[in-house]
Chains A and B, each alone.
Chain A
Amino acid sequence: MSATETTPIMLGIPTPGARPASDLFQEAERQLNVCNSCRYCAGYCPVWPSLEKTTVLSMAQMAHLGNLCHDCRDCFTACMYTAPHEFDLNPPRIFAEIREDTYDRYIPGRRALRRLPGWSGTIIGFVLAAVIIVLLSLGTDGGALFVSGPQSGSPYELVGHTAMIALAMVPTIASMLVLLVAALRYWSDTNSGSFRGLFDLAAWGPTLSQTARMKHQTGGAEGCSYEENEPSSRRRYAHHLVMYGFLLTFAATVSAWAMATFLGLEPPYPLFSVPKITGILGGVMASIGCLGMLWLKPRSDRSQTTDTMRRADYGLIWATLLLMVSGLAAHLTNGMIAYGPVLVFHLATVVACFAITPYTKFVHWIFRMLAVQKDNVERHAVARAAAAKEKATAKEKATAVV
């Protein structure tokens, strides 16, 4: 614990667990050996059936199990061996540590960036983005938006369409490349170098469906044991609001770009248009979801996660909330003199957030989804083998009859 407290936190993202990876591996192995000797949790989520398939665990398998875990914590409440029992099991925490290790191990640049202390990187990025936007604005049209307020209501009064696209695209593309590399490295390691499963379309069906429903976070039939260790669906609903709200605002951005670029439709768009409806609805949904998560978080058991992961969770929730609220504020202040500064704030937030994405908790879904895909690929393989065996037996019987 003391190591966690003294390690500087970079960009509000988790530094890897307090212990070095080898210690983490040993502790995870110790705990999962007890789990493998018990197996009472097999009905909760795919982590436990997946663990049962192996008697010797590798670090890559640990990474798979850690990311397959959706932190519902039902296993913890069902466990007879949690502290103060001398076995001292705490799967949610050990899996959180493994996930931190995953992010650290597979996302390029993470270790190097960790040298930046605290939130300074984020703040520097934000200020830098804001300055660039203001300079661009002053350089292109003399900052008319700040002086005389919005005229047409188009955000492109601040910075021209192309410049704004470029401003947003550069960090986005850079982040996407980093995450692509991370995803491929992770998949390769957890699948012994084979990429076949990544193209198993039959497995992607359930993977997408399970992700869309956050199936593995439902825990036992009554929801996850997050809030006060009592089963409830609140956390999942809050997450749904954030996830779908975020996707809607993303759709708003893309649709606005497409309308301007391909259809030649310049903003401002009417209230009943795709960008406005998706943007406002998504912004409100995600804001409510974030507030819900901020309400839930202090009510969850701190011992079942790490301090760094907890801070990273808060970082992501606050960043998302800031994105959403500033976006909504830009919508509401349009036409007022405040529009200019609010828009600068929102755009700088967008740029900064997109730039640091690979180094925040935002990445969690990539590894989780890949873990779910691997799990489904393995299930399909087992089902196919069983079907083939059945077919062979049937054929054998038929031959025998003949």
Chain B
Amino acid sequence: MRHSRDGAAAAVLDQDWDVVVVGGGNAALVSAMSAHDHGARVLVLERSDVTFRGGNSRHTRNIRCVHEAGTPYNTGAYTFDEMWKDLCGIGTGPSDEELADLTLRESISVPAWMTAHGAQFQPPLAGVLHLGRTNTFFLGGGKALVNHYYRTLRSLGIPVLYQAKVTEFEFDGDRCTALLVEHAGATHRLRTKAVVTASGGFEANIPWLAKYWGDAAYNYLIRGPEHNDGLVLGKLLEAGARSAGEEKGFHSVACDARSPKFDGGIATRLDCIPFGVVLNNRHERFYDEGEDIWPKRYAIWGRNIAYQPDQIAYAYWDSKVQGMFLPPMYGVFSGDSIGAVATQLGQDPEAAEATIAAYNAGVARDASGRFDPAGKDGVSTSGLAIDKTNWAQAIDTGPFYGIPMRPGITFTYMGVQVDREARVRREDGSRFANVFAAGEIMSGNILSSGYMAGFGMTIGTVWGRIAGREAAIHVRD
């Protein structure tokens, strides 16, 4: 509050700055601290107010970095080669191998840098142990991390202007000379020697998503803040920045259909899918619910549902598995029969009953004896058009349960292309002299599809550090 209440807050808009950072999440804050460390006078413009500051970063919880040995916060080593293999194994692999390679190499020094700038970590705890070796967890999660960084900014004397919206960039050739900033009902022309754009993707801009996804986009839930509308990204592309990453590239998970349209974050995601079956609104199963264990299954179901009619799906399970997974925050629908649950979900009871009966007919006789939720148990159905290949028990023991699901979009991949110094590239192959990018707005340079837990924060921190440093060096030279 102190920053924005400050009567002098608006006065920062009348000064000349070395580096203006657009954004208020992880990549932006890292950029600001990095630029400051390299001698620049820095101003941060955050679109949100204090409570909701931090963009998508406030919903994150860990970061994935290369460490050649175990650490107090990781259960073992995670080598460059292993992480590289992991990166190549997801989606279509790295978009730009050179920049991806740089990202991984730079990640080695990231945790120590974070600690030096106020971040706190915690050892992996129950429930997330499978990520404890590869990923380092923030004490209290992403918002706590962001709070620490804002505190560091304050102690470094870096001002933050909240509820400041950048609406326009002014260019002189390949050089950005000023930004138009809306703040407290007025538009200011802000002069700066360099700009770091770290303002996220466009996932909260539904009409933009609809350009690639059609009307389906209107049925998506957006897991992060409403401010992530890609305004700055759009302006850069308009000004001739070259785009990077897939237009349709995004990360999404299965979320409770009752979730808020925006900003539901981690709490609305669902983990019930492998324990039962999933029907679309035509009462058909459409994908192997037992394909894989967490976290892979976690990342595919958002997209699976996005491709279903009306972008909705319904998970059903029975009392045999109830209580084996995270309790959904909105509770579950239950009834004495599948039909009773289906009615509550707005599905046709007879059609749902028929699909579950057909599924049950494919379940092995000894399925329940072999069922093992701890790992892939190979308990598969047989003879179905779409078999469930693990954890396939009959759904036959009441009471029965169900929940409606929609795709929840976490972030988008399409952004601006950058070089090794985080300078934004232009359509004609040249580069902007003083415009840099870090974080989600340039994540498409590294990855275009698929998802690796904690890697978004790696990209944000590595590239924030580079962008801040290079912007400061640019100003100094």
Contacts and interface: CB of A to CB of B under 8 A. Distances in A.
Interface of A: 33-34, 36-44, 49, 52, 55, 74-75, 77-82, 84-87, 220-222, 230
B323 interface: yes
Given A78-B144, A78-B147, A81-B265, A37 B120 contact: no
Contacts of B120: 220-222
B326 interface: yes
B137 interface: yes
Contacts of B267: 34, 37-38, 81, 87
B58 A80 contact: yes
A221 B139 contact: yes
A82 B128 CA distance: 24
Interface in B14-71: 51-52, 58-59, 61
Contacts of B139: 43-44, 220-221
Nearest to B330: A33
Contacts of A41: 140-141
By size class, the interface of chain B is: 20 to 34
27 contacts: A33-B331, A37-B329, A38-B141, A38-B266, A39-B125, A40-B140, A40-B141, A44-B139, A49-B125, A49-B126, A55-B323, A55-B327, A77-B140, A77-B144, A77-B147, A78-B140, A78-B141, A78-B147, A80-B143, A80-B265, A80-B266, A81-B265, A81-B267, A84-B51, A85-B263, A86-B260, A220-B120
Contact of A220 (B52, B125, B140, B331): B140
A33 B260 CA distance: 16
Contacts of A37: 266-269, 326-329
Contacts of B369: none
A230 B328 contact: no
A288 B264 CA distance: 45
Given A36-B327, A37-B269, A39-B127, 8 more contacts: A36-B329, A40-B141, A41-B140, A49-B126, A74-B144, A77-B144, A77-B147, A222-B120
Nearest to B269: A37
Nearest to A30: B329
B266 A52 contact: no
Nearest to B145: A78
A42 B125 contact: yes
B331 to A, nearest CB: 7
A52 B127 contact: yes
A38 B127 CA distance: 11
Contacts of B265: 38, 80-81
A34 to B, nearest CB: 5
A132 to B, nearest CB: 52
Interface string B246-268: 00000000000000100101111
B127 A74 contact: no
A222 B120 CA distance: 9
Contacts of A85: 51-52, 263
Interface in B108-143: 120, 122-123, 125-128, 137, 139-143
B374 to A, nearest CB: 14
Given A38-B265, A80-B58, A85-B263, A44 B140 contact: yes
Contacts of B263: 80, 85
B420 interface: no
B211 interface: no
Nearest to B52: A85
A109 to B, nearest CB: 38
Nearest to B123: A43
A82 B144 CA distance: 13
Contacts of B326: 36-37
B126 A80 contact: no
Contacts of B125: 39, 42-43, 49
Contacts of A220: 120, 139-140, 144
Nearest to A79: B143
Contacts of A78: 140-141, 143-144, 147
A264 B137 CA distance: 63
Contacts of B142: 40, 80
Q: Among A34, A37, A55, which residue has the most Cβ atoms of chain B within 10 A?
A: A37
Contact of B122 (A34, A43, A81, A82): A43
Q: Among B51, B61, B140, which residue has the most Cβ atoms of chain A within 10 A?
A: B140
Contact of A34 (B59, B123, B269, B329): B329
B376 interface: no
B282 interface: no
Interface string B303-344: 000000000000000000001001111010000000000000
Contacts of B329: 33-34, 36-37
A82 B58 CA distance: 12
Nearest to A29: B331
Contacts of B128: 39
A38 B264 CA distance: 11
B151 interface: yes
Nearest to B127: A39
Nearest to A74: B140
Contacts of A77: 140, 143-144, 147
Nearest to B141: A40
Q: Among B125, B127, B141, which residue has the most Cβ atoms of chain A within 10 A?
A: B141
Closest 9 CB pairs of A and B: A40-B141, A43-B122, A78-B140, A78-B144, A37-B267, A37-B329, A42-B125, A38-B267, A55-B327
B253 to A, nearest CB: 13
Nearest to B264: A87
A306 B141 CA distance: 27
B144 to A, nearest CB: 4
Contacts of A79: 143
A34 B268 CA distance: 8
Contacts of A221: 120, 139
Given A38-B265, A84-B51, A52 B140 contact: no
Contacts of B323: 55
Nearest to A41: B140
A75 to B, nearest CB: 8
A329 to B, nearest CB: 41
Nearest to B265: A80
Interface string B374-415: 000000000000000000000000000000000000000000
B2 to A, nearest CB: 9
A238 B286 CA distance: 61
A315 B59 CA distance: 39
A159 B375 CA distance: 76
Nearest to A231: B151
